[in-house]
Amino acid sequence: MSITKVPLKTMVIDNQINQEILKTRIVHIGFGAFHRAHQALYTSEMIEKNQSDWGICEVDLFSGRELIKKLRLQNHRYLVAEKGANENTIKMVGSIKESLHPELDSKQAILEKMAEEQVAIISMTITEKGYCADHSTGLLDQTNSLIIHDLQNPSEPHSAIGYIVEALRLRRERGINGFSIMSCDNVQENGHIAKAAILGFASLLDADLAKWIENNASFPCTMVDRIVPAVTPETLNEIEALSGINDPCAVACEPFRQWVIEDNFVQGRPDWNIVGAEFVEDVVPFEEMKLRMLNGSHSFLAYLGYLGGYTYISDAMTNEAYRNAALEMMLKMQAITLNMPEGTNLEEYAYSLIERFTNPSLKHQTWQIAADGSQKIPQRFGASLQFHLEHNSSYKWIVIAIAGWMQYVKGLDEKGNTIDVRDPLVKTFAEIYAIEKSPEEIVKAFLSIESIFDQSLLSNTSFVETLTNTYILIGDQGANFVVSEQ
C-alpha cells in the first residue's frame, strides 16, 4: 500500500490489489453512491488484508448506464473520499472485477453471470421500491407493474426480483447450488422482505421452484450505516482538487461506517469482519437502533430543517434548538423503546450521531433525506409511537416530525416556494390537499393511509388532537419557532 500526502490535511491511499486474481463471486445489483462507499469499500480493504479472490460484478438494471461505461474506462477502480471535520482520507477501491448493464450488454448476459457456479452472493442496494413489496404486509405486491411484466415474461425480467428468480431457475435447471441474497438497503429486516418477495414471485411461477429456492438459498439480514450524500458536480470537483484524479465514479462520505450482518450464507462469504464488519445471529436489535435513533432523528431534521430554511443537515445542527431536539429525540423518544443486547451503550451512540450530523464537510441535503417519507415513517416512528401511547410517555418530537412531514408534502415551503416532493404517494398527498379543507380533516386523511399509519391511531382522540394542533402550529408559526419553543 502506497500513501501519498497532499495539501489540506488530506491523505490519499491507493490499494495494491491485483484485479486479475479476482473472481466474480458477488454480483451486486445497484451501483449507487452508498454501495460504492460501503460494501465495495469494505470488500476492497478485506482483499488487501487477506488476498482473497472475492471480486464483485456491478449491475445496474435501470439508470446508471453512463456511469457503468465510465467505470469500465478506468479499469473498474474509483475513489471514496472520507470527509471528516478536520481531515480527509481518499481511498482507491479495487474490488470490482467486472460490470454489466442490460442496455450495454443484455439481460441474458446478466442472468448468465448470476447463474455462474462460483457466484455465491447476490447483494442489493435497490432502495425500498426495488423489492416490489407491499409495505403494509411485507409480501410481494402483485399489482406492481414490474412484477406483472416479469410474471408474463420471466426470461426477460425488468425487476431485481425477476432477475434473481430467473437466475435461480437456471441454476436449478443446470444442477448448480443456490446462492445467498443479501440486501444492503436501509429496510428493516431487509433479508426477510427480500425472501418474501422472491418466494412470493417464484410461487406464482412454479411451486416446485419456490420450494427449491427456499431450500437452496439464504437471505441474511444486514444493518448498514454510513452517511453518503448524493454525488454532485461540486463533490467530484472537490475530490479531483484533493486527489489530483478526475474520477466521474467517485463518491464522498463520512469517516464513520458500520455493517452488522446475519451470518447465514449457503455458499460461503467474505471475511468482512477483518475490516470492521460484525457477524451476528440476530440483526434486528441493531436495525431498530439505527432506524429509530439515527434515521428517525435524520427525518426530523430533514422535514423541520427544510421547512426552517436549512439546505444541509449540518446547517440545521448549527441551531442549538435543533441539535438539542435531535439528541432528546434519540435518548427520550427512541432509545427507551429499544431492546438491545447487554453492553450496548445507547447514550454513547446518540452523542456519536450528533457529532456525525454536525460534520460540516458533509453536504447532506435535507431535501434528499426527506424523499420517500411514506416508506420511511413506519419504520422510523411507528413502533416508538405505539410504545409511548401504551406507556403514556412523551412523544413530542415524534409528533413534531410527523406533523412536519405532513406540512412538507404539501409542496410549499414557508416562503411559498414550491417543494419538489419525491414520494411514491405524491399523487395521494396532492389529492388530500385538493379535497380536504380543515387541518383536522387533512391530518385524519393522512392517518387513514394504511401503508403508513396503524389505523388504531385514528380512534385515539388525544393523539389526533395533539398531531392536529402541532400541524397547525408549524403552519402558522414556522418550523424554527416550533423547534425552539418546545
Q: How many CA atoms lie within 13 A of 111 on its CB side?
A: 19
CATH number of 284-485: 1.10.1040.10
What is the pLDDT averaged over residues 106-117?
98
pTM of the model: 0.83
Predicted confidence (pLDDT) per residue in 263-322, tens digit: 999 999 999 999 999 999 999 999 999 999 999 999 999 999 999 999 999 999 999 999
Task: Summarize the confidence of residues 370-388 as an average pLDDT.
Answer: 95
pLDDT at 437 over 90: no
Q: What is the pLDDT of residue 159?
A: 98
Return d(Cα 196, Cα 484) in angstroms, integer: 44
What value does the mean pLDDT take over residues 248-267?
96
**Do the beta carbons of residue 192 and residue 186 sit within 8 Å?**
no
**Residue ranges, CATH 1.10.1040.10, the chain:** 284-485
- CA–CA distance, 255 with 326 (Å, rounded to integer): 21
Cβ–Cβ under 8 Å, residues 418 and 411: yes
Q: Residue 194 above 70 pLDDT?
A: yes
- Decide if pLDDT at 3 tops 60: no
3-state secondary structure of 57: strand
Share of the chain above pLDDT 90, in %: 89
Q: What is the pLDDT of residue 362?
A: 81
Query: Phi and psi of 307, rounded to 5°?
Result: -60, -30
pLDDT digits (tens, 9 = 90+) for 23-82: 999 999 999 999 999 999 999 999 999 999 999 999 999 989 999 999 999 999 999 999
Q: In 3D, which of 250, 127, 113, 120 has the Cα closest to residue 184?
A: 127
Domain with CATH 3.40.50.720 in the chain: 2-280
Cα separation of 13 and 4, whole Å?
7
Beta-carbon neighbour count of residue 479 at 10 Å? Answer: 27
Task: Give the span between the Cα atoms of 45 and 52, in whole angstroms.
Answer: 11
Report whether pLDDT(188) > 90: no
Q: How large is the average pLDDT for residues 199-217?
A: 98
Is the pLDDT reported for residue 465 higher than 80?
yes
Instruction: Quick: pLDDT tens for 79-98.
Output: 999 999 888 999 999 999 99
Of 188, 120, 205, 194, which Cα lies nearest the Cα of 160? Answer: 194
- DSSP assignment of 94-151 equals --EEEEE-TTTS-HHHHHHHHHSTT--EEEE--TGGGG-EETTTTEE-TT-HHHHHHH
Assess contact for 163 and 29: CB atoms under 8 A: yes
DSSP state of 170: H
**CA 50, CA 253: separation in Å to the nearest integer?**
25
Residue matched to cell numbers 380533516: 441
Grid cell for residue 76? 473498474
Write down the pLDDT at residue 4: 44
Contact of 371 with 426, CB cutoff 8 Å: no
Burial class (CB in 10 A: 0-12, 13-18, 19+), 313: buried
Domain 2-280, CATH class in plain words = alpha beta
CB 394 within 8 A of CB 334: no
pLDDT of residue 7: 43
The pLDDT-based confidence of 13 (bands split at 50, 70, 90) is: confident
pLDDT value for 5: 42
DSSP bridge partners of 222: 261
**Total residue length of the chain:** 486
